């Protein structure tokens, strides 16, 4: 761990902590907070901890909670221990947030003092631009052009460029008054007369004698133009005199050359060239760039109008949060005192990404005011690293950091501290990076860091530790595009090699092999990503792209928008038709084409009306939950490639839209408008917001931008960006001589903007290079041929390790990098340097036919000098995902169900007769007729009756009572089926005689009186009146549906089963409704109503040993779905559908927690061969239907969900409740328990599941 820090001193009042990459910045912030709370007694709620992103704020809060939850070594009653307990209890009141969240909270809590509305709505201020711009053009723009004069010229210019909409929009987003200025300044106009007089006077002192003809001609033209301008009438503007044929036209169009020529003359004559340049610059702006002032005027006016609109409509955006807070604090002593009373100490993280407005907020709150004594204990801790200031394009201003540090240190008001020990990387990699940054001279201000002590991270490959933690790779090809392609081929081959024989990663006693998700590819922009991703796909390397579309720009978001538009306008046939084509309904286009209006009782029409009612009540969470549940879209989305990611995106969208609606008080129309705008917004991969979350069990290589990687670390990093010059982002940004940030609309000052841009680009590469823990792959462009960042990196590498320099120049113990050179196909040619090498012809490789060599296959690693490496032929690293299947009229799902696996393990053996149900008691295959389709209800393997399992909703047609709009599958269980004889179950596993979950024992050994009359059955083999209920899956589906909706409190209050059917009890109506929907017999039996009530009553009131009754549970969830990756699995025929590869899906009937333990419940309506429910009979049923495997699969699915949770939750076991055998009393038969353990899950997943999936993938003729 990073070294503990000493408590901060009281004076001076500001501590500046500079923290290089990997030096334990977060640890030190938490330790500082703990020192303040435990040692100095500062209440935790008087701390203000501010960081840059919500993710970082959440991490700081989590870590502080963990430290405060650890008891101290002091004895009970100690003052520090008492402070710890108090701080932990009050942590929810601590302010740990982003700067925007903090400022908004100040404006809300002190609204009266700040002069703010008590209720404000957060809006996207940048999203107001289109409306504000159009209104401005129609009104104030015309007045502005009239005031400027020469309306024809200005108006034509403006209209021809659509009033510079794009450039003005860029300035509108980035210009913030108080944090910088515009150039040119629209508020000032150069005095052309004064400038010309000054130039004439200066030129009069210049003698043409001895000048070159070109210089004399330039001086003459320049002098004449100035005299002509002064001779014009006062009403004539300089813009008029600069028309065609004017002397100004030829002089000022080449301004930079003119400055050089005339400036040299002035300098030789002892005149000031800087003064001349300033005068010429003013004339240039007056003559050659009138449109620049027009654009600047538009930007300034629109920014002011945005602020006025927000005030008028009670809104606020993120930039206004900062500006209003700064202005309110600066203008109100009372407000400052109240906020200062609330917060005593401020800790500011990522201070290098601040700006002048943010600094003013911190300065006003935590530094001593002029003329007033310093408040005891008030202090400010600023934490940052200027080498990691990479967000200038967002408005972050590293020069604010540098200026504040310099001013505070010079005045003695700040104590500078530096963290210079890195805990991230191996000592060898730290030494290599120290040399690269130090000798190479980037980034500015770099100072070497030391590697932390033991235990150091170690990568072991082959016989010992990695001798080359830095791999520098040169190219034989020229040009950014070919280099990108070569690098993509090289890294794909190298990743395959690493994963085929993974090296060991170790730190201390922890050791494990390298996984795909330990590898990160850092790109600079979209060209890099476009070159790499297809190569990774072709090589079979699973990956996650960090530049995925924003969540609101996915296909799922577009379909949500179409559905919401249909809900908002259910009478709009066009909107409804588009919604029907989405995966929410998946209606074939041929059926949708003729829809001209849905009947009021049509299922889709009823759904739209129901959702509309929820939307009008603004019950957003319930609305989106019902949409997901009632359409079955989650299972349909799971069939597609990246099915789990699709499912996750839908769930995340439902959550984000509910938050958007609730948080901003949106109505449905406003929510539709917001979603439409968010989809039109440009995706920015590295912004805070709602990125697309990818959930998958398969480890994947990370591909992300260098900006996105800030704050992260990875065992192996490939730098894959900077092959060409980085294009400028919009308007130029730089700082003037006073340190003020300038947003420049002109083509001038390229040098100033370029230098600052290059400095930030190298800081981005510093961030990228310091993400690696064990190994770093770095492309380098050799000196003389490099442009862009990699050219500068190549210069740095050449300076740090000069070619041909003796190895003795490297200090002892410091590893040398490995130098490789690759050709245009990414093949390694030679080691030992980055110099160009001739590309040899193909060299035959072992196993290659004559005339063919390794040159045909990219590879990673170095071979003998001057030869190609042998080809790398590896099996695919990942099984293929779900395939696209042809859509028919039925359901098509990319899942393997438990039922389908059952057939593979049992090899389709016929069920013994004693497990079969009488044919007349099995429900019909087809459900009640609909308006145009049918419904398959409860279809299942013979004898495999059960409440449990999951319905498999598929794409529907128009009509039918299944899924909305047509044929569906309702309640088709995932019964019986396969098992691996309980392999992997911890404890072997029935309830023991004591009735407690645990080891092996008998099930449900009850009193002898519980036996059926006649005594033929062993003790516990009880036959109840539920035995008269028909068998078959129709019965299981019926009971399952009722269990899902029954009111547990009604069951708990009922003294006997008949009470559930009493008048006024809703359970009776529920039973009647489902008996009508799922008729159990061709000729209904009125007694079935009581039989169903009996099974429900006894099942929910039977105590589970050691856990109590189900009807008394406070926390539980019914019908919990899961999607578990099953690479290679292929289901066969199931309910008449073709199922594809990729996923195992199902639903767990009931889950509930007891403390940290989770229990699963599966309801079963099976009969037994003997008619009794003694242990032997139940074991026969469990074995025949392979319910042990079902339990293990369900348990594994839930284990994956809760494993690694902060509370240490685990899956303790599964109960199988056979409803026909339960008595409602303690010690009841009909209960089977299977205990689980993490070790059992691991063994099952490692040894048994792959065998099962492999069998499921075998093709059958």
Burial grade of 873 (CB within 10 A; 0-12, 13-18, 19 or more): exposed
> Cα(665)–Cα(1217) distance, rounded to whole angstroms?
45
pLDDT at 1033: 76
- The predicted model gives 1217-1238 an average pLDDT of 90
- The predicted model gives 476-494 an average pLDDT of 93
pLDDT at 136: 85
Q: Is the pLDDT of residue 158 over 70?
A: no
> Cα(938)–Cα(963) distance, rounded to whole angstroms?
14
- Highest mean predicted confidence (pLDDT) among 105-119, 240-254, 366-380, 903-917: 105-119
The answer to whether 109 touches 325, Cβ cutoff 8 Å, is no
CA distances in angstroms from 98 to 117, 233, 290, 400, listed in the order given: 22, 58, 41, 18
Q: Is the pLDDT of residue 300 over 80?
A: yes
| H or E element, residue 729 | none
Give strand ranges (E) for 409-535: 414-419, 421-422, 450-451, 457-461, 464-465, 470-475, 504-507, 510-513, 519-523
> Cα(379)–Cα(374) distance, rounded to whole angstroms?
10
pLDDT at 262: 56
| H or E element, residue 447 | none
- Tens of pLDDT, residues 491-504: 999 999 999 999 99
Q: Which residue has the higher pLDDT, 1251 or 1241?
A: 1241
Q: Is the pLDDT of residue 247 over 70?
A: no
DSSP single-letter state for residue 269 = T
Q: Which residue has the higher pLDDT, 264 or 438?
A: 438
Tell me the two tokens of residue 1121. 């779905």
Q: For residue 386, which of 763, 124, 88, 103 has the smallest C-alpha distance?
A: 763
pLDDT-based confidence at residue 111 (cuts at 50, 70, 90): very high
List, in sequence order, the alpha helices (H) in 74-125: 79-90, 99-109, 111-114
Task: Tell me the pLDDT of the chain averaged across its residues.
Answer: 73
- Tens of pLDDT, residues 800-819: 888 765 555 677 778 889 99
The answer to whether 765 touches 722, Cβ cutoff 8 Å, is yes
Q: For residue 902, which of 952, 942, 953, 937 has the smallest C-alpha distance?
A: 942
Kindly give the interhelix angle for 1088-1101 and 1066-1077, rounded to the nearest 10 degrees: 120
> Cα(706)–Cα(238) distance, rounded to whole angstroms?
48
pLDDT at 134: 82
Q: For residue 516, which of 499, 540, 535 has the smallest C-alpha distance?
A: 499
497-524 residues labelled b (16+ CB within 10 A) or e (exposed): bbbeeebebbeeeeeeebebbbbbbbbb
> Cα(249)–Cα(730) distance, rounded to whole angstroms?
28
- Tens of pLDDT, residues 1178-1226: 998 888 888 888 888 888 888 877 775 555 678 999 999 998 899 888 8
pLDDT at 207: 67
Partner residues linked to 1225 by β-bridges = none
The answer to whether 191 touches 230, Cβ cutoff 8 Å, is no
pLDDT at 1169: 82
CA distances in angstroms from 799 to 387, 448, 724, 761, 792, listed in the order given: 20, 16, 21, 19, 11
Kindly give the interhelix angle for 213-231 and 255-268, rounded to the nearest 10 degrees: 100
Q: For residue 633, which of 589, 675, 585, 588 has the smallest C-alpha distance?
A: 585
Q: Is the pLDDT of residue 693 over 90?
A: no
953 φ/ψ angles, rounded to the nearest 5 degrees: -70, 140
The half-sphere exposure of 211 on its side-chain side, counting CA atoms within 13 A, is 19
Q: Flag the least confident range among 427-436, 642-651, 735-744, 1189-1198.
A: 642-651
- The predicted model gives 394-407 an average pLDDT of 90
Q: What order do you get walking across the sheet with 95-98 strand by strand? A: 95-98, 47-51, 345-348, 379-384, 14-19, 414-419
pLDDT at 738: 83
- Highest mean predicted confidence (pLDDT) among 57-71, 649-663, 1077-1091: 57-71
- Highest mean predicted confidence (pLDDT) among 266-270, 295-299, 341-345, 879-883: 341-345
pLDDT-based confidence at residue 845 (cuts at 50, 70, 90): very low
The half-sphere exposure of 182 on its side-chain side, counting CA atoms within 13 A, is 27
pLDDT at 890: 28
pLDDT at 1124: 66
CA distances in angstroms from 100 to 59, 120, 358, 394, 547, listed in the order given: 17, 14, 9, 14, 25
Q: Is the pLDDT of residue 988 over 50?
A: no
Burial grade of 699 (CB within 10 A; 0-12, 13-18, 19 or more): middle
| H or E element, residue 1022 | none
- The predicted model gives 1115-1132 an average pLDDT of 65
- The predicted model gives 607-632 an average pLDDT of 89
460 φ/ψ angles, rounded to the nearest 5 degrees: -110, 120
pLDDT at 945: 31
pLDDT-based confidence at residue 866 (cuts at 50, 70, 90): very low
Tell me the two tokens of residue 421. 């020990």
> Cα(29)–Cα(17) distance, rounded to whole angstroms?
10
| H or E element, residue 713 | none
Q: Flag the least confident range among 571-575, 633-637, 930-934, 1108-1112.
A: 930-934
pLDDT at 330: 93
Burial grade of 125 (CB within 10 A; 0-12, 13-18, 19 or more): buried
- Tens of pLDDT, residues 543-554: 888 544 567 777
Q: For residue 696, which of 635, 638, 644 has the smallest C-alpha distance?
A: 644
Q: Is the pLDDT of residue 968 over 50?
A: no
Q: Return contacts of 597-603, CB within 8 angstroms, 24+ apart.
A: 597/571, 597/573, 602/931, 602/959, 602/965, 603/959, 603/960, 603/961, 603/964, 603/965
Q: Please report where in the chains the tokens 């072709």 appear, as a residue.
A: 538
- The predicted model gives 970-982 an average pLDDT of 32
Tell me the two tokens of residue 345. 């100490």
Region class of 36: left (phi > 0), else alpha (psi between -120 and 50), else beta: alpha
Q: Which residue has the higher pLDDT, 882 or 828?
A: 828
Tell me the two tokens of residue 528. 């890099």
CA distances in angstroms from 206 to 230, 262, 274, 806, listed in the order given: 19, 10, 16, 59
- The predicted model gives 668-680 an average pLDDT of 79
Sign of the dihedral through C-alpha 571, 575, 580, 583: negative
pLDDT at 837: 36
pLDDT-based confidence at residue 678 (cuts at 50, 70, 90): confident
pLDDT at 805: 58
> Cα(126)–Cα(317) distance, rounded to whole angstroms?
9
- Tens of pLDDT, residues 173-218: 889 888 889 988 887 766 666 766 776 776 666 666 666 776 677 6
Q: For residue 1173, which of 1219, 1215, 1110 has the smallest C-alpha distance?
A: 1219
1104 φ/ψ angles, rounded to the nearest 5 degrees: -80, 130
The answer to whether 504 touches 547, Cβ cutoff 8 Å, is no
pLDDT-based confidence at residue 796 (cuts at 50, 70, 90): confident
SS3 label, residue 1126: strand
- The predicted model gives 109-119 an average pLDDT of 90
pLDDT at 454: 72
pLDDT at 487: 95
The answer to whether 634 touches 628, Cβ cutoff 8 Å, is yes
pLDDT at 154: 55
- Tens of pLDDT, residues 718-732: 999 888 766 555 688
Q: Is the pLDDT of residue 325 over 90?
A: yes
Q: For residue 320, which of 110, 135, 177, 133 has the smallest C-alpha distance?
A: 177
> Cα(760)–Cα(825) distance, rounded to whole angstroms?
32
Tell me the two tokens of residue 34. 């703990």
Kindly give the interhelix angle for 318-331 and 333-342, rounded to the nearest 10 degrees: 110
Furthest-apart CA pair in the chain: how many Å?
A: 136
Q: Flag the least confident range among 233-247, 378-392, 433-447, 940-954.
A: 940-954
CA distances in angstroms from 1240 to 526, 826, 987, 1255, listed in the order given: 45, 44, 9, 21
Against a cut of 0.85, is the pTM above it?
A: no
- Percent of the chain whose pLDDT exceeds 90: 25
Tell me the two tokens of residue 1048. 């547990």
The answer to whether 1033 touches 944, Cβ cutoff 8 Å, is yes
pLDDT-based confidence at residue 656 (cuts at 50, 70, 90): confident
């Amino acid at each position: 761990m990073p070294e503990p820090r000493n408590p901060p001193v009281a004076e001076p009042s500001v501590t500046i902590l500079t923290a290089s990459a990997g030096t334990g910045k977060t640890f030190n912030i938490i330790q500082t907070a703990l020192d303040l709370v435990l040692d100095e007694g500062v209440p935790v709620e008087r701390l203000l901890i501010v960081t840059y992103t919500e993710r970082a704020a959440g991490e700081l809060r989590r870590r502080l909670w963990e430290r405060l939850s650890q008891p101290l070594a002091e004895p009970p009653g100690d003052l520090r221990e008492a402070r710890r307990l108090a701080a932990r209890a009050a942590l929810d009141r601590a302010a740990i947030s982003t700067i925007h969240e903090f400022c908004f909270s100040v404006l809300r809590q002190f609204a009266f003092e700040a002069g703010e509305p008590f209720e404000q709505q957060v809006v996207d201020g940048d999203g107001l631009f289109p409306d504000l711009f159009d209104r401005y053009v129609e009104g104030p723009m015309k007045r502005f052009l009239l005031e400027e004069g020469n309306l024809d010229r200005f108006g034509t210019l403006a209209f021809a460029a659509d009033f510079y909409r794009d450039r003005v929009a860029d300035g509108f987003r980035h210009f913030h008054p108080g944090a910088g200025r515009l150039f040119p300044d629209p508020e000032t106009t150069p005095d052309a007369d004064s400038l010309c007089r000054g130039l004439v006077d200066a030129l009069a002192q210049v003698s043409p004698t001895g000048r070159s003809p070109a210089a004399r001609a330039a001086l003459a033209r320049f002098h004449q133009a100035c005299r002509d301008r002064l001779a014009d009438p006062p009403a004539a503007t300089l813009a008029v005199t600069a028309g065609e044929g004017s002397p100004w036209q030829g002089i000022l169009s080449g301004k930079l050359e003119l400055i050089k020529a005339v400036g040299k003359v002035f300098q030789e004559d002892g005149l000031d060239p800087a003064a001349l340049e300033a005068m010429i610059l003013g004339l240039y702006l007056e003559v050659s760039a009138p449109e620049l002032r027009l654009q600047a005027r538009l930007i300034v006016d629109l920014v002011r109008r945005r602020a006025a609109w927000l005030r008028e409509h009670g809104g606020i955006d993120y930039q206004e949060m900062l500006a209003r807070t700064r202005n309110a604090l600066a203008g109100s002593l009372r407000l400052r005192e109240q906020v200062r009373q609330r917060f005593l100490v401020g800790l500011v993280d990522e201070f290098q990404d601040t700006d002048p407005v943010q600094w003013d907020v911190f300065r006003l709150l935590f530094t001593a005011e002029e003329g007033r004594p310093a408040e005891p204990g008030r202090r400010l801790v600023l934490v940052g690293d200027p080498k990691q200031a990479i967000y200038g394009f967002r408005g972050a201003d590293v020069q604010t950091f540098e200026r504040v540090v310099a001013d505070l240190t010079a005045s003695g008001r700040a104590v500078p501290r530096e963290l210079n020990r890195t805990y991230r990387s191996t000592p060898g990699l730290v030494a290599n990076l120290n040399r690269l940054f130090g000798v190479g001279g980037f980034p500015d201000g770099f100072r070497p860091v030391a590697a932390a002590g033991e235990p150091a991270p170690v990568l072991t490959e082959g016989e010992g530790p990695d001798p080359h933690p830095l791999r520098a790779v040169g190219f034989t090809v020229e040009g950014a595009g070919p280099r990108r392609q070569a690098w993509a081929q090289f890294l794909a081959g190298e990743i395959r090699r690493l994963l085929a024989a993974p090296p060991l990663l170790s730190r201390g006693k922890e050791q494990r092999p390298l996984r795909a998700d330990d590898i990160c590819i850092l790109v600079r922009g979209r060209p890099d990503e476009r070159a790499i991703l297809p190569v990774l796909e072709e090589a079979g390397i699973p990956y996650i792209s960090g530049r995925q579309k924003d969540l609101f720009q996915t296909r799922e978001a577009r379909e949500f928008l179409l559905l919401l538009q249909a809900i908002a306008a259910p009478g709009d046939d066009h909107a409804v038709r588009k919604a029907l084509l989405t995966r929410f309904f998946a209606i074939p286009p041929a059926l949708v084409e003729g829809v001209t209006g849905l009947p009021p009782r049509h299922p889709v029409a009823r759904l739209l009306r129901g959702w509309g009612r929820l939307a009008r009540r603004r019950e957003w969470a319930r609305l989106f939950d019902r949409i997901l549940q009632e359409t079955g879209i989650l299972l349909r989305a799971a069939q597609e490639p990246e099915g789990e990611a699709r499912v996750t995106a839908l769930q995340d969208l439902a959550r984000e839209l509910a938050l958007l609606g609730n948080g901003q008080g949106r109505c449905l129309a406003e929510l539709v408008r917001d979603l439409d705008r968010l989809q039109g917004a440009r995706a920015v991969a590295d912004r805070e917001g709602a990125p697309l979350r990818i959930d998958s069990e398969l480890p994947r290589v990370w591909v992300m931008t260098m900006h996105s990687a800030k704050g992260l670390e990875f065992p192996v990093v490939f730098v894959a960006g900077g092959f060409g010059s980085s294009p400028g982002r919009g308007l130029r940004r730089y700082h003037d001589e006073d340190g003020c940030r300038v947003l420049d609309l002109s083509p001038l000052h390229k040098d100033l903007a370029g230098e600052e841009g290059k400095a930030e680009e190298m800081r981005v590469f510093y961030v990228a290079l310091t993400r690696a823990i064990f190994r770093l792959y770095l492309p380098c462009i050799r000196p003389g041929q490099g442009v862009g960042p990699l050219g500068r990196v190549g210069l740095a590498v050449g300076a740090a390790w000069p070619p041909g320099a003796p190895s003795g120049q490297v200090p002892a113990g410091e590893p040398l990098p490995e130098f490789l050179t690759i050709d245009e196909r990414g093949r390694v040619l030679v080691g030992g340097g980055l110099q160009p090498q001739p590309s040899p012809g193909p060299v035959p490789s072992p196993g290659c036919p004559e005339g063919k060599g390794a040159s045909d296959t990219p590879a990673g690693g170095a071979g003998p000098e001057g030869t190609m490496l042998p080809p790398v032929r590896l099996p695919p690293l990942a099984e293929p995902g779900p395939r696209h299947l042809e859509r028919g009229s039925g359901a098509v799902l990319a899942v393997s169900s438990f039922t389908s696996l059952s057939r593979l393990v049992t090899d389709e053996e016929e069920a013994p007769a004693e497990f079969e149900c009488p044919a007349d008691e099995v429900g019909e295959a087809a459900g009640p007729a609909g308006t145009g389709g049918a419904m398959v209800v409860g279809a299942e393997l013979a004898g495999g009756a059960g409440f449990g399992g999951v319905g498999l909703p598929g794409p529907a047609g128009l009509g039918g009572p299944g899924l909305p709009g047509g044929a569906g599958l309702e309640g088709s269980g995932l019964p019986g089926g396969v098992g691996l004889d309980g392999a992997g179950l911890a404890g072997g596993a029935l309830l023991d005689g004591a009735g407690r979950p645990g080891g092996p024992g008998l099930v449900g050994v009850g009193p002898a009186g519980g036996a059926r009359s006649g005594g033929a059955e062993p003790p516990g083999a009880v036959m109840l009146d539920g035995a008269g209920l028909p068998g078959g899956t129709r019965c299981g589906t019926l009971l399952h549906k009722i269990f899902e909706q029954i009111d547990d409190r009604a069951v708990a209050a009922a003294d006997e089963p008949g009470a559930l059917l009493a008048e006024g009890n809703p359970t009776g109506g529920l039973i009647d409704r489902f008996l009508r929907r799922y008729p159990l017999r061709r000729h209904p039996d009125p007694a079935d109503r009581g039989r169903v009530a009996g099974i429900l009553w006894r099942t929910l009131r039977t105590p589970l040993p050691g856990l109590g009754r189900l009807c008394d549970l406070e926390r539980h969830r019914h019908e919990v779905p899961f999607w578990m990756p099953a690479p290679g699995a292929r289901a066969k025929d199931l309910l008449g559908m073709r199922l594809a590869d990729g996923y195992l899906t199902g639903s767990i009937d009931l889950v509930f927690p007891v403390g940290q333990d989770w229990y699963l419940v599966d309801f079963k309506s099976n009969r037994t061969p003997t008619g009794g429910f003694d242990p032997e009979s139940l074991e026969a049923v469990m074995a025949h239907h392979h319910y042990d495997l079902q339990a293990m699969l369900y348990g594994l699915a839930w284990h994956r969900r809760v494993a690694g949770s902060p509370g240490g939750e685990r899956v303790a076991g599964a109960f199988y409740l056979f409803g026909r055998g339960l008595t409602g009393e303690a010690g009841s038969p009909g209960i089977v328990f299977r205990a689980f353990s993490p070790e059992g899950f691991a063994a099952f997943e490692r040894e048994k599941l792959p065998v099962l999936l492999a069998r499921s993938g075998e093709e059958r003729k």
